[in-house]
Structure 1
Amino acid sequence: MRLVQNSLHAEVAAQLRDRIFAGELLPGSFLDEVHLAEQMEISRTPLREALKVLTAEGLVRHEPRRGCFVNEVTEQDLDQIFPVIALLEGECAREAAAQATDADLEALEALHDKLQRHAKARRINDYYAANFTIHEAIIALAGNPWLAQVIGDLRKIVKLARLQQLHAPGRLDQSLSEHMAVFAALKARDPEGAEAAMRTHLTRQRGALRELARNQKSRLAP
């Protein structure tokens, strides 16, 4: 696929990022610059700039004299990242509760209605999409671009783990209950309650991912 000349490294980075998240470029795999440049029909200069961007995001690691590899996320990484995300998104929920207008809350109510319908129908992929939209909406309502940027970068790293926490037993209903608790605090314009509910939600999400990883490991054990 030929990239237009003015796309430069940003478009190259976006395409590589999509391929990593799609599982086309697997964690731990070597990123062959010559092969990728030929495949994408670009010179190695924008490719190297794109790899620098992905390295800064934590999606790629550079090893001296060896080159670039897709990063691998360990359980320890997730244990360290999730408390930070919980802290930051908790702050977003706190600020959103203090600043949300009636129109904002009406829009959030429509999103939560959709979330409930997907949960009731057990449409997990649709639930994931609605869940992501709700988190993004709350982050946007906080009106703090610095928080949004850091959360977005950390989420990219978590996404490398390719674990779907809603497949953990009972997690779908638990997740919905947690979301409704966050929304109840937002409607009540209770900043402290919204912050606590969001932090609980993300802490339990980490617990579900840990359980899922344990189950996968036990199934693979001889």
Structure 2
Amino acid sequence: MRAVPNSLHDDVADRLRHRIFEGALPAGAYVDEVALCTEWSISRTPLREALKVLAAEGLIRHEPRRGSFVSEVTERDLDDIFPVIALLEGRCAFEAARKATAADLAALEALHLNLQAHAAAGRIPDYYATNYTIHEAIITLADNRWLAQSIADLRKILKLARLQQLRAPGRLEQSLSEHLAVFAAIRAGDAEAADAAMRNHLLRQREALRELAHYGKSRLLA
């Protein structure tokens, strides 16, 4: 059976997401509908449908008589989101500890060895990429589509904020230690410990971002 192709507005939504996430449309930016329609040779209808999709995801806000703008993520938003995503990913780790097979554990071990190597060499972009793969692997092991969808929705908002928590002093080493604690609990089949370790990992990310923001302000005032 042939796959049903994406509708035009789905394709436009994907293009808009890409522009937002790569920073071509930064937080607070006005979405120029006329310019985009001209550039992409489309009518207003699929673009406006795409904007509705992104508004539902929290990436776009619409202001009557003014138009659409890229959403801005506030410190309050981060304070609200991180405890929620910590609970969700904690549950994923809980389920992963219960369901992981020997093959799953071997694959996770290989990923964590890569993570350690990237941390030791200070390869931050590679560390971020492997970190993401590990989180995705644990979410997949949980095998709960509702958890996966909720986490994906929250991640879009966090991605919009363009966070760089590993820039905080000492955070790289802390992050690695936290990841190893999560893996140790999953490998031991200790679901409660895996849940707690993952929640701690996500909440420490928020603390690192707060410390980084404070450090940046301190440097500006110095």
Q: TM-score range by the shorter chain?
A: over 0.9
Percent pairwise identity: 72
Which residue is 1:144 aligned to?
144
Structure 1 CA distance for aligned equivalents of residues 115 and 187 of structure 2: 17
Which residue is 1:134 aligned to?
134
Which residue is 2:74 aligned to?
74
- The alpha-carbon distance between structure 1 residues 177 and 49, as it changes in their structure 2 partners (threshold 3 A), is same
Scaled by the length of structure 2, what TM-score is found? Answer: 0.95
Which residue is 1:91 aligned to?
91
**What secondary structure sits across from 1:30 in the alignment?**
coil
Amino acid paired to 1:150: S
1:66 deviates by 1.4
Residue pairs, 1:18-167, within 5 angstroms? 18-167=18-167
- CA deviation string 1:56-109 (max 9, x = no partner): 111111112211100000000000000000000000000110011111111101
Scaled by the length of structure 1, what TM-score is found? Answer: 0.95
Structure 2 CA distance for aligned equivalents of residues 220 and 14 of structure 1: 37
Which residue is 2:199 aligned to?
199
- The alpha-carbon distance between structure 1 residues 20 and 174, as it changes in their structure 2 partners (threshold 3 A), is same
Q: Which runs of 4+ in 1 moved over 6 A?
A: none
Amino acid paired to 1:173: E
Structure 1 CA distance for aligned equivalents of residues 161 and 212 of structure 2: 12
1:165 deviates by 0.3
- CA deviation string 1:175-194 (max 9, x = no partner): 00000000000000000000
- CA deviation string 1:30-80 (max 9, x = no partner): 101111111122111111111111101111111122111000000000000
**What secondary structure sits across from 1:106 in the alignment?**
helix
Structure 2 CA distance for aligned equivalents of residues 69 and 94 of structure 1: 38
- CA deviation string 1:3-31 (max 9, x = no partner): xx965011111111111111110101110
C-alpha RMSD of the superposition: 1.4
Specify every segment of 5 or more residues in structure 2 that has no aligned partner in the other structure, as ranges: none
1:205 deviates by 0.4
